[in-house]
Amino acid sequence: MFTHTDIGAFDPVVTTNTLRGSALVKTYPGAEATPALDGVDLTVTSGESVAIMGPSGSGKTTLLHVLAGVLAPTSGQVVWRGRDLAAMGDAGRTRLRRTDFGFVFQSGHLLPELPAVENAALPLMLSGVSRREATRRAEALLAPLGLSGLSARRPGELSGGQAQRVAIARALVCEPGVVFADEPTGALDQGTSAEVLEQLVTRCRAVGASLVVVTHDENVASWCERTVRLRDGRIVSDARTTR
Ligand SMILES: Nc1ncnc2c1ncn2[C@@H]1O[C@H](COP(=O)(O)OP(=O)(O)OP(=O)(O)O)[C@@H](O)[C@H]1O
Protein backbone atom coordinates (compact mmCIF):
# COMPACT_ATOMS: atom_id res chain seq x y z
CA MET A 1 0.00 0.00 0.00
CA PHE A 2 1.25 3.51 -0.84
CA THR A 3 1.62 5.95 2.00
CA HIS A 4 1.85 9.69 1.50
CA THR A 5 5.65 9.41 1.75
CA ASP A 6 5.78 6.72 -0.97
CA ILE A 7 3.95 9.00 -3.35
CA GLY A 8 6.47 11.74 -2.53
CA ALA A 9 9.19 9.48 -3.94
CA PHE A 10 7.63 10.02 -7.38
CA ASP A 11 7.61 13.79 -6.97
CA PRO A 12 7.81 15.12 -10.56
CA VAL A 13 10.04 17.95 -9.36
CA VAL A 14 12.69 15.35 -8.55
CA THR A 15 12.24 13.06 -11.52
CA THR A 16 11.83 15.56 -14.36
CA ASN A 17 13.89 18.43 -15.65
CA THR A 18 12.39 21.03 -13.31
CA LEU A 19 14.48 24.05 -12.37
CA ARG A 20 13.26 25.82 -9.25
CA GLY A 21 14.56 29.06 -7.77
CA SER A 22 13.11 29.90 -4.34
CA ALA A 23 13.36 33.16 -2.37
CA LEU A 24 16.38 34.24 -4.39
CA VAL A 25 18.24 37.28 -3.14
CA LYS A 26 21.45 38.54 -4.70
CA THR A 27 23.38 41.56 -3.47
CA TYR A 28 26.66 42.61 -5.03
CA PRO A 29 29.47 43.86 -2.77
CA GLY A 30 29.13 47.58 -2.09
CA ALA A 31 25.46 47.62 -3.15
CA GLU A 32 23.90 45.81 -0.18
CA ALA A 33 21.08 48.37 0.12
CA THR A 34 19.80 47.65 -3.40
CA PRO A 35 19.69 43.90 -4.08
CA ALA A 36 19.92 42.92 -7.75
CA LEU A 37 17.45 40.12 -6.88
CA ASP A 38 15.06 40.74 -4.03
CA GLY A 39 13.08 37.57 -3.27
CA VAL A 40 12.48 35.85 -6.61
CA ASP A 41 10.55 32.57 -6.87
CA LEU A 42 10.64 31.02 -10.32
CA THR A 43 10.01 27.46 -11.46
CA VAL A 44 10.77 26.41 -15.03
CA THR A 45 9.12 23.11 -15.87
CA SER A 46 10.48 20.49 -18.24
CA GLY A 47 10.56 21.70 -21.85
CA GLU A 48 9.07 25.11 -21.04
CA SER A 49 10.26 28.32 -22.75
CA VAL A 50 10.38 31.42 -20.53
CA ALA A 51 11.29 34.97 -21.55
CA ILE A 52 12.72 37.21 -18.83
CA MET A 53 12.03 40.87 -19.50
CA GLY A 54 12.32 44.15 -17.63
CA PRO A 55 14.09 47.51 -17.72
CA SER A 56 17.87 47.83 -17.77
CA GLY A 57 19.27 46.99 -14.33
CA SER A 58 16.15 45.13 -13.19
CA GLY A 59 18.13 41.93 -12.51
CA LYS A 60 17.52 39.81 -15.63
CA THR A 61 21.11 38.69 -16.23
CA THR A 62 21.68 38.21 -12.52
CA LEU A 63 18.64 35.91 -12.36
CA LEU A 64 19.84 33.93 -15.39
CA HIS A 65 23.29 33.49 -13.84
CA VAL A 66 21.90 32.47 -10.45
CA LEU A 67 19.52 29.90 -12.01
CA ALA A 68 22.39 28.50 -14.10
CA GLY A 69 24.73 28.14 -11.12
CA VAL A 70 27.17 30.72 -12.54
CA LEU A 71 26.55 33.05 -9.58
CA ALA A 72 25.71 31.94 -6.03
CA PRO A 73 22.64 33.66 -4.55
CA THR A 74 23.22 35.65 -1.35
CA SER A 75 20.26 33.72 0.06
CA GLY A 76 17.63 31.39 -1.32
CA GLN A 77 18.00 28.15 -3.21
CA VAL A 78 18.20 26.81 -6.75
CA VAL A 79 17.15 23.18 -7.24
CA TRP A 80 17.70 21.27 -10.48
CA ARG A 81 16.26 17.77 -10.89
CA GLY A 82 15.72 17.72 -7.14
CA ARG A 83 19.33 18.67 -6.30
CA ASP A 84 20.36 21.86 -4.53
CA LEU A 85 23.04 23.62 -6.60
CA ALA A 86 24.66 25.03 -3.44
CA ALA A 87 25.33 21.50 -2.18
CA MET A 88 27.24 20.49 -5.32
CA GLY A 89 30.36 22.59 -4.74
CA ASP A 90 32.22 24.53 -7.44
CA ALA A 91 33.43 21.44 -9.30
CA GLY A 92 29.96 19.88 -9.28
CA ARG A 93 28.36 23.07 -10.61
CA THR A 94 31.01 23.41 -13.33
CA ARG A 95 30.32 19.81 -14.39
CA LEU A 96 26.58 20.44 -14.29
CA ARG A 97 26.90 23.51 -16.52
CA ARG A 98 28.77 21.38 -19.04
CA THR A 99 26.46 18.36 -19.02
CA ASP A 100 22.96 19.61 -18.16
CA PHE A 101 22.90 23.25 -19.28
CA GLY A 102 23.60 25.01 -22.59
CA PHE A 103 24.40 28.70 -23.06
CA VAL A 104 23.88 31.22 -25.86
CA PHE A 105 25.30 34.72 -25.43
CA GLN A 106 24.63 37.95 -27.29
CA SER A 107 27.57 37.67 -29.63
CA GLY A 108 28.20 33.97 -29.99
CA HIS A 109 31.52 33.71 -28.11
CA LEU A 110 32.75 31.37 -30.85
CA LEU A 111 36.45 30.61 -31.10
CA PRO A 112 37.68 32.45 -34.21
CA GLU A 113 40.32 29.88 -35.19
CA LEU A 114 37.97 26.87 -35.25
CA PRO A 115 35.60 25.93 -38.10
CA ALA A 116 31.87 26.14 -37.34
CA VAL A 117 31.49 22.39 -36.82
CA GLU A 118 34.32 22.26 -34.28
CA ASN A 119 32.92 25.29 -32.45
CA ALA A 120 29.60 23.44 -32.17
CA ALA A 121 31.37 20.21 -31.16
CA LEU A 122 33.62 21.81 -28.54
CA PRO A 123 31.54 21.10 -25.39
CA LEU A 124 31.46 17.40 -26.31
CA MET A 125 35.21 17.27 -26.97
CA LEU A 126 35.82 19.02 -23.63
CA SER A 127 33.83 16.28 -21.91
CA GLY A 128 35.97 13.56 -23.47
CA VAL A 129 34.02 12.55 -26.60
CA SER A 130 36.32 11.83 -29.57
CA ARG A 131 36.69 14.56 -32.20
CA ARG A 132 35.17 12.28 -34.83
CA GLU A 133 32.04 11.46 -32.82
CA ALA A 134 31.70 15.04 -31.53
CA THR A 135 31.85 16.55 -35.03
CA ARG A 136 29.39 13.92 -36.31
CA ARG A 137 26.89 14.94 -33.64
CA ALA A 138 27.55 18.65 -34.24
CA GLU A 139 26.96 18.21 -38.01
CA ALA A 140 23.61 16.58 -37.21
CA LEU A 141 22.62 19.73 -35.28
CA LEU A 142 23.97 22.19 -37.87
CA ALA A 143 21.88 20.62 -40.67
CA PRO A 144 18.40 21.52 -39.35
CA LEU A 145 19.75 25.00 -38.58
CA GLY A 146 20.45 25.40 -42.31
CA LEU A 147 24.22 25.36 -41.88
CA SER A 148 25.32 22.04 -43.35
CA GLY A 149 27.13 23.72 -46.25
CA LEU A 150 28.94 26.13 -43.94
CA SER A 151 30.40 23.81 -41.33
CA ALA A 152 34.00 24.30 -42.54
CA ARG A 153 33.82 28.09 -42.31
CA ARG A 154 35.40 29.99 -39.47
CA PRO A 155 33.28 32.49 -37.47
CA GLY A 156 34.84 35.44 -39.36
CA GLU A 157 33.42 33.97 -42.58
CA LEU A 158 29.85 33.74 -41.24
CA SER A 159 27.10 36.36 -40.96
CA GLY A 160 25.93 37.37 -37.48
CA GLY A 161 22.80 35.24 -37.83
CA GLN A 162 24.77 32.21 -39.04
CA ALA A 163 27.24 32.58 -36.17
CA GLN A 164 24.34 32.67 -33.67
CA ARG A 165 22.95 29.48 -35.19
CA VAL A 166 26.34 27.82 -34.66
CA ALA A 167 26.11 29.03 -31.05
CA ILE A 168 22.65 27.40 -30.79
CA ALA A 169 24.08 24.10 -32.10
CA ARG A 170 26.90 24.37 -29.54
CA ALA A 171 24.40 25.01 -26.73
CA LEU A 172 22.43 21.89 -27.69
CA VAL A 173 25.26 19.49 -28.50
CA CYS A 174 25.44 17.97 -25.01
CA GLU A 175 21.66 17.40 -25.02
CA PRO A 176 21.06 19.81 -22.12
CA GLY A 177 17.95 19.96 -19.96
CA VAL A 178 17.94 23.78 -20.01
CA VAL A 179 19.33 26.32 -22.49
CA PHE A 180 20.07 29.76 -21.01
CA ALA A 181 20.24 32.59 -23.53
CA ASP A 182 21.18 36.20 -22.66
CA GLU A 183 20.04 38.65 -25.36
CA PRO A 184 20.82 36.02 -28.04
CA THR A 185 19.61 38.26 -30.85
CA GLY A 186 20.67 41.60 -29.39
CA ALA A 187 23.37 42.09 -32.03
CA LEU A 188 21.20 41.15 -35.03
CA ASP A 189 18.84 43.14 -37.25
CA GLN A 190 15.12 42.55 -36.77
CA GLY A 191 14.56 40.06 -39.62
CA THR A 192 17.60 37.94 -38.75
CA SER A 193 16.71 38.17 -35.08
CA ALA A 194 13.25 36.66 -35.69
CA GLU A 195 14.75 33.79 -37.74
CA VAL A 196 17.39 32.98 -35.13
CA LEU A 197 14.84 33.12 -32.31
CA GLU A 198 12.47 30.83 -34.15
CA GLN A 199 15.35 28.39 -34.63
CA LEU A 200 16.35 28.62 -30.98
CA VAL A 201 12.82 27.94 -29.71
CA THR A 202 12.13 25.25 -32.31
CA ARG A 203 15.37 23.36 -31.76
CA CYS A 204 15.03 23.47 -27.96
CA ARG A 205 11.49 22.14 -28.32
CA ALA A 206 12.65 19.42 -30.73
CA VAL A 207 15.13 18.06 -28.21
CA GLY A 208 12.90 18.65 -25.15
CA ALA A 209 15.17 21.28 -23.56
CA SER A 210 13.68 24.11 -21.49
CA LEU A 211 14.67 27.62 -22.57
CA VAL A 212 15.27 30.64 -20.34
CA VAL A 213 15.91 33.71 -22.47
CA VAL A 214 16.70 37.25 -21.31
CA THR A 215 15.53 39.83 -23.79
CA HIS A 216 14.43 43.45 -24.28
CA ASP A 217 12.53 42.49 -27.42
CA GLU A 218 8.77 41.82 -27.17
CA ASN A 219 8.99 39.88 -30.46
CA VAL A 220 11.48 37.50 -28.89
CA ALA A 221 9.23 37.08 -25.87
CA SER A 222 6.25 36.29 -28.08
CA TRP A 223 8.06 33.13 -29.22
CA CYS A 224 8.18 31.85 -25.64
CA GLU A 225 5.32 30.15 -23.81
CA ARG A 226 5.67 32.38 -20.77
CA THR A 227 6.95 35.87 -19.98
CA VAL A 228 8.30 36.89 -16.58
CA ARG A 229 8.81 40.61 -15.99
CA LEU A 230 11.25 41.98 -13.41
CA ARG A 231 11.51 45.40 -11.83
CA ASP A 232 14.05 46.32 -9.14
CA GLY A 233 14.93 42.65 -8.65
CA ARG A 234 11.36 41.45 -8.15
CA ILE A 235 8.89 39.63 -10.38
CA VAL A 236 6.08 42.03 -11.24
CA SER A 237 4.27 39.76 -13.68
CA ASP A 238 4.42 36.13 -14.80
CA ALA A 239 2.05 35.25 -17.61
CA ARG A 240 1.42 32.70 -20.35
CA THR A 241 2.03 34.22 -23.75
CA THR A 242 -1.15 34.87 -25.69
CA ARG A 243 -0.97 34.79 -29.48
N1 LIG B 1 29.20 42.41 -11.00
C2 LIG B 1 28.41 43.35 -10.47
N3 LIG B 1 28.84 44.11 -9.43
C4 LIG B 1 28.03 45.04 -8.88
N5 LIG B 1 26.77 45.30 -9.30
C6 LIG B 1 26.32 44.60 -10.33
C7 LIG B 1 27.10 43.59 -10.98
N8 LIG B 1 26.36 43.04 -11.98
C9 LIG B 1 25.18 43.68 -11.96
N10 LIG B 1 25.15 44.60 -10.98
C11 LIG B 1 24.00 45.48 -10.63
O12 LIG B 1 22.87 44.64 -10.35
C13 LIG B 1 21.70 45.17 -10.91
C14 LIG B 1 21.06 44.18 -11.88
O15 LIG B 1 21.96 44.00 -12.96
P16 LIG B 1 21.64 42.99 -14.16
O17 LIG B 1 22.82 43.01 -15.09
O18 LIG B 1 21.22 41.71 -13.61
O19 LIG B 1 20.38 43.72 -14.83
P20 LIG B 1 19.74 43.52 -16.26
O21 LIG B 1 18.27 43.61 -16.05
O22 LIG B 1 20.26 42.27 -16.88
O23 LIG B 1 20.27 44.80 -17.03
P24 LIG B 1 20.52 45.05 -18.61
O25 LIG B 1 19.18 44.91 -19.27
O26 LIG B 1 21.03 46.47 -18.65
O27 LIG B 1 21.53 44.04 -19.07
C28 LIG B 1 22.08 46.51 -11.55
O29 LIG B 1 21.84 47.54 -10.64
C30 LIG B 1 23.57 46.36 -11.78
O31 LIG B 1 24.23 47.60 -11.74
The response to whether residue 61 sits with its C-beta less than 6 Å from ligand 1 reads yes
Q: Specify the pLDDT at position 4.
A: 38
* Integer angstrom CA distances of residue 57 from 8, 60, 78, 91, 115: 39, 8, 22, 30, 36
98: left (phi over 0), alpha (psi -120 to 50) or beta: alpha
| Measured distance CA(152)–CA(126) in Å, rounded | 20
The response to whether residue 58 sits with its C-beta less than 6 Å from ligand 1 reads yes
Whether the per-residue pLDDT at 11 is higher than 90: the answer is no
Whether the per-residue pLDDT at 89 is higher than 70: the answer is yes
Q: Specify the pLDDT at position 243.
A: 64
Answer whether 36's CB lies under 8 Å from 30's CB: no
229 CA from centroid of ligand 1 (Å): 15
Whether the per-residue pLDDT at 15 is higher than 60: the answer is no
Question: Residue 27's pLDDT band (boundaries 50, 70, 90)?
Answer: very high
Predicted TM-score (pTM) of this structure:
0.91
62 CA from centroid of ligand 1 (Å): 6
Question: Residue 108's pLDDT band (boundaries 50, 70, 90)?
Answer: low
Kindly compute the dihedral angle of the four CA atoms of residues 40, 237, 178, 168, in this order, to the nearest 10 degrees.
-130
The response to whether residue 186 sits with its C-beta less than 6 Å from ligand 1 reads no
| Measured distance CA(216)–CA(180) in Å, rounded | 15
What is the average per-residue pLDDT within 158-174?
A: 93
Which of these, 69, 19, 10, 58, lies nearest to 36 by C-alpha position?
58
